[in-house]
């Protein structure tokens, strides 16, 4: 069974657990590095602050009662942005990613936002395939410059129905 749960800042230990697991398991998928969130970066107030982004929705997917995936939607310049998306290895191939995307889409549509956008690393072929299956298309816009100084993130978007 797959359930989605909305997080508050009081759920920071769960968010921390998943975020650290995501950064350790899939470092190629994120702009942040595991080391950025460990040591001095591993502070309760920082984790709480991440879950207190104004107007954002933080979701966790529970698979058979166990936290297995996460995603966040944030309002950004007249659209919604999907960030921090990760599905743990045990949950992959079970529709968890699509369910998280649907949850963020519904939230964004209720906010009256016309589109959901995201940035994905160019080599993250599994994520790109998921996004394409769920209706996202490459915008052709240049994404953020990657550490190699040459490559850029791929920016994808999906129009949302009116609420």
Query: pLDDT tens per residue, the chain (163 residues)?
Result: 999 999 999 999 999 999 999 999 999 998 888 998 999 889 999 999 999 999 999 999 999 999 999 999 999 999 999 999 999 999 999 999 999 999 999 999 999 999 999 999 999 999 999 999 999 999 999 999 988 889 999 999 999 987 5
Can you name the residues that pair with 57 across neighbouring β-strands?
73
Total structural domains in the chain?
Answer: 1
Phi-psi region of 75 (alpha: psi -120 to 50; beta: other; left: phi over 0): beta
Give yes or no for a contact between 143 and 154, defined as CB atoms under 8 angstroms apart. Answer: yes
**Is 144 strand, coil or helix?**
strand
User: Residue 57 maps to which CATH number?
Assistant: 3.40.630.30
Q: How far apart are CA 138 and CA 154, in angstroms?
A: 7
pLDDT in tens, 113-153: 999 999 999 999 999 999 999 999 999 999 999 888 899 99
Domain span holding position 102? 2-159
């Amino acid at each position: 069974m797959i359930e989605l749960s909305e997080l508050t800042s009081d759920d920071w230990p769960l968010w921390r657990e998943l975020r650290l697991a995501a950064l350790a398991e899939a470092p190629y998928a994120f702009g942040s590095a595991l080391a950025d969130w460990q040591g001095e970066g591993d502070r309760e107030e920082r984790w709480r602050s991440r879950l207190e982004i104004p107007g954002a929705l933080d979701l966790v997917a529970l698979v058979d009662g166990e936290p297995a995936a996460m995603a966040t939607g944030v309002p950004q310049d007249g659209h919604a942005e999907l960030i921090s998306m990760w599905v743990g290895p045990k949950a992959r191939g079970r529709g968890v990613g699509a369910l998280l995307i649907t949850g963020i889409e519904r939230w964004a549509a209720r906010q009256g936002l016309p589109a959901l956008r995201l940035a994905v690393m160019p080599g993250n072929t599994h994520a790109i395939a998921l996004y394409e299956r769920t209706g996202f298309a490459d915008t052709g816009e240049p994404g953020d410059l990657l550490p190699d100084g040459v490559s850029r993130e791929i920016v994808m978007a999906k129009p949302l129905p009116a609420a």
